[in-house]
Amino acid sequence: MLLKTNTLAKITLSIAIAFTMMACEDQDDEIQNAGIEGTYKLTTFTLSAPIDYNNDGVATTNLIEETGCYDASNITLLPNGSAVFNIQSVDIDYIPEDENGNPATVVECYFDGPETASYTSSTTLVTFSVGEESMSFTRTGNTLTYIVEGDDSFFGDVVLVFEKQ
């Protein structure tokens, strides 16, 4: 009878520990996923290769600085699992020769309007979906990062970083 009691106690203890661990895991996920809703502002938009779109003679990898655009871009995550993207676009025209005889670019910023998507999140990823298309952002605290790996030598990788406001 002592053997059966010990075995029953071990089984009961094992089940209790398993339920406790699952409850803790659920609480950890809830804590880490809590507060993801909100507006995330685009704070970094970089290219691998430096460019000089603003014609100041200094090439940089910072596309926000170079174009004067994108600084009003953001993503809003709503509690119902939908997201609203307000991303500025840019129209860049290359001018072979300006009034001084130098090559130049003309940059025009504009909004196409908000785009909507659905999203799911985990402790490390936020995945946005529109129809059958999806893209996953790495989640670190209040920061969402999206990296487009470049397949050409001019732009290389593109890195977008959004920070919660």
- In CATH, what number is assigned to the domain containing residue 55? 2.40.128
46-63 pLDDT tens trace: 998 898 888 888 999 999
Mean confidence (pLDDT) of the chain:
81
Answer whether 108's CB lies under 8 Å from 90's CB: yes
What does the pLDDT read at residue 152?
62
- Range(s) of the domain holding residue 45: 36-164
135 and 65: one domain?
A: yes
Tokens of 15: 């089940």
41 and 10: one domain?
A: no
What is the tally of structural domains in the chain? 2
74-108 pLDDT tens trace: 999 999 999 999 999 999 888 888 788 888 888 89
Backbone angles phi, psi at 105, to 5 degrees: -130, 150
47 and 124: one domain?
A: yes
9 and 41: one domain?
A: no
44 and 87: one domain?
A: yes
Helix or strand holding residue 9 (H, E): helix 2-33
User: What confidence tier does 149 reach under pLDDT thresholds 50, 70, 90?
Assistant: confident
Q: Which of 27-36, 51-60, 90-99, 126-135 has the lowest mean pLDDT?
A: 27-36
List the Cα angle 11/15/21 in 5-degree steps.
145
Residue among 121, 114, 135 nearest 35 (CA): 121
103-123 pLDDT tens trace: 888 889 999 889 999 999 999
